[in-house]
Chain A
């Protein structure tokens, strides 16, 4: 029972490593709300997992991937603006999840744990999920890096230059879905986007290249995990929110430092 701390650190760092580079793209592409929408659908996955009697992580991952796919396809239509679409799906799936859980009377679900994370309760199986998802996401993102960057700068120019933009963007959205699904245990549905956005935003000020910004975002994310966990133990505060507060503190500290190179 005393090794819960190493497990929490290993899980948190795993998530932060993948969230850094993915988060930089989320910032560049202005997809923060997309991440939020995926996370909101996670609870529906929990309900689904409970209904099917499998590890809820299967349900969460499946629903997040399905949600990403749906959004990618729906974004191609022009009837509804993307933010309307995201809001619609995010809150519908969150509510469906809550309603679904209410029907499952025999299943006890730690709702607060899912909403705000339960990093101190990370199990060995959870670690497999997190590191599997992280390594998959980092490997795929490395392969996608160049075309995704080109498509981020200018979609049509990238298409003329031969980038299969839709497929690259779809793959990126699925990667976010995977990372969000495995990160739920660490900071919870309501706070996941912060782990993508805040380290990346904090890294911007010091970065001179896209790769530098991604790497620094990973480092800052890991630091936030460490500081947050330490603070949580020291003052007995909830771990997930403590990590997010630590990340925000790093962001503010970075912007308060004088004379850093903002390119």
Chain B
């Protein structure tokens, strides 16, 4: 794939008080590419994301971001204190000023238009995920970094969000780095899966990772099978919509 590399983390290590969290980990995201980080709790997924974002400095290794890179970040959990009166409209423009029309368009794109004037404390967790996604879109991001975007969302909502995210990649051509601990819900649209357990266990196309003995050893055959099943389901959608992805990416440069 000749797509331009946007973000690269090279051979980084990170330890807290001598306790190794990440060891010799590399990951990179190119324009129009979806990279998924999976792994058990405590595998260092969020730490890796925070290093990629520049929120944490690694103990060793290199982090490279394309100069002027605009990142849209969707944190794992976001609750706004009840004492702060804040509508969704105000909330999404906190990161970058935008006209009401642009806010409406961004909320429409993620299917959260009805909550425009709702206090941010009154929306459901599924709506919050969409609102967070809309906030990232207002920044016209080159790369989206999503930390467990489907957390706290019911199963149907999860499929919808994943479709939404892969749709964003197609429409906007941005690179996407996402964390998931729901092993069976890695999208088929994913180009690269990185299976993390303090080090990189295995990586590659979802098909390849699901069959990797290291992956099966880590999650058990059951987990492996579930990844495969879900992947298979999404193959169909991939055939219907996904075929145009490479051309679109090239067209956008």
User: What residues make up the interface of A, taking CB atoms closer than 8 Å to B?
Assistant: 27-28, 30, 146, 149-150, 152-154, 156-161, 201, 204, 207-210, 212-213, 263
Most central of B84, B87, B145 by chain A CB within 10 Å: B84
Using A156-B55, A160-B55 as known contacts, say yes or no to A204 and B83 having CB atoms under 8 A apart: yes
Query: Could you list 14 further interchain pairs (A-B, Cβ under 8 angstroms) beyond the known A157-B78, A213-B84?
Result: A27-B83, A149-B94, A150-B94, A153-B80, A156-B50, A156-B53, A156-B55, A160-B55, A160-B71, A161-B95, A161-B96, A209-B87, A210-B84, A210-B85
Using A153-B91, A210-B84 as known contacts, say yes or no to A160 and B78 having CB atoms under 8 A apart: no
Shortest CB-to-CB span from B103 to chain A, Å, is 15
Segment 45-99 of B: residues with Cβ below 8 Å from A: 50, 53-55, 71, 73, 75, 78, 80-81, 83-87, 90-91, 94-96
Most central of B94, B95, B139 by chain A CB within 10 Å: B94
Q: How far, in whole Å, are A150 and B55 apart by their CA atoms in the complex?
A: 16
Q: CB distance A153 to B53 under 8 Å?
A: no
Q: CB distance A263 to B85 under 8 Å?
A: yes
Q: How far, in whole Å, are A146 and B98 apart by their CA atoms in the complex?
A: 13
Using A157-B78, A161-B95 as known contacts, say yes or no to A152 and B73 having CB atoms under 8 A apart: no
Using Cβ atoms and an 8 Å threshold, which residues of chain A touch B87? 208-209, 263
Using A27-B83, A160-B73 as known contacts, say yes or no to A154 and B96 having CB atoms under 8 A apart: no
Shortest CB-to-CB span from A172 to chain B, Å, is 15
Using A157-B75, A160-B73, A263-B119 as known contacts, say yes or no to A209 and B85 having CB atoms under 8 A apart: yes
Q: How far, in whole Å, are A157 and B81 apart by their CA atoms in the complex?
A: 15
Using Cβ atoms and an 8 Å threshold, which residues of chain A touch B50? 156
Q: How far, in whole Å, are A30 and B82 apart by their CA atoms in the complex?
A: 11
**Residue of B with least CB distance to A163:** B95
Q: CB distance B83 to A210 under 8 Å?
A: no
Shortest CB-to-CB span from B90 to chain A, Å, is 7
Using A156-B75, A157-B73, A160-B71 as known contacts, say yes or no to A207 and B85 having CB atoms under 8 A apart: yes
Using Cβ atoms and an 8 Å threshold, which residues of chain B touch A28? 81, 83-84
Shortest CB-to-CB span from A6 to chain B, Å, is 35
Using Cβ atoms and an 8 Å threshold, which residues of chain A touch B53? 156, 160
Shortest CB-to-CB span from B116 to chain A, Å, is 14
Q: How far, in whole Å, are A30 and B79 apart by their CA atoms in the complex?
A: 14
Q: 6 shortest A-B CB distances, which residue pairs?
A: A160-B73, A161-B95, A150-B94, A263-B119, A207-B85, A28-B84
Using Cβ atoms and an 8 Å threshold, which residues of chain B touch A213? 84-85
Q: How far, in whole Å, are A208 and B120 apart by their CA atoms in the complex?
A: 11
Segment 7-64 of B: residues with Cβ below 8 Å from A: 50, 53-55
Most central of B53, B86, B96 by chain A CB within 10 Å: B86
Q: How far, in whole Å, are A204 and B87 apart by their CA atoms in the complex?
A: 14
Q: How far, in whole Å, are A27 and B84 apart by their CA atoms in the complex?
A: 9
Shortest CB-to-CB span from A116 to chain B, Å, is 27
Q: How far, in whole Å, are A146 and B95 apart by their CA atoms in the complex?
A: 9
Most central of A160, A209, A263 by chain B CB within 10 Å: A160
**Residue of B with least CB distance to A29:** B81
Q: How far, in whole Å, are A106 and B75 apart by their CA atoms in the complex?
A: 59
Instruction: Out of B54, B84, B119, name the residue touching A153 (CB < 8 Å).
Output: B84
Residue-wise, chain B 165-178 has the 8 Å CB interface mask toward A (1 for contact) of: 00000000000000
Q: How far, in whole Å, are A238 and B91 apart by their CA atoms in the complex?
A: 43
Using Cβ atoms and an 8 Å threshold, which residues of chain A touch B84? 28, 152-153, 210, 213
Shortest CB-to-CB span from B7 to chain A, Å, is 12
Q: How far, in whole Å, are A160 and B177 apart by their CA atoms in the complex?
A: 15
Q: CB distance B94 to A212 under 8 Å?
A: no
**Residue of A with least CB distance to B120:** A153
Using Cβ atoms and an 8 Å threshold, which residues of chain B touch A158? 94-95
Using Cβ atoms and an 8 Å threshold, which residues of chain A touch B81? 28, 30
Shortest CB-to-CB span from B68 to chain A, Å, is 12
Residue-wise, chain B 128-159 has the 8 Å CB interface mask toward A (1 for contact) of: 00000000000100000100000000000000
**Residue of B with least CB distance to A28:** B84
Q: How far, in whole Å, are A207 and B90 apart by their CA atoms in the complex?
A: 14
Q: How far, in whole Å, are A153 and B73 apart by their CA atoms in the complex?
A: 14
Shortest CB-to-CB span from B65 to chain A, Å, is 11
Q: How far, in whole Å, are A204 and B83 apart by their CA atoms in the complex?
A: 6
Using Cβ atoms and an 8 Å threshold, which residues of chain A touch B55? 156, 159-160
Q: CB distance A154 to B86 under 8 Å?
A: no
Using Cβ atoms and an 8 Å threshold, which residues of chain B touch A146? 94
Q: List 14 A-B contacts (CB under 8 A).
A: A30-B81, A153-B80, A154-B75, A154-B78, A156-B50, A156-B55, A156-B73, A157-B95, A159-B54, A161-B95, A161-B96, A201-B83, A208-B87, A209-B87
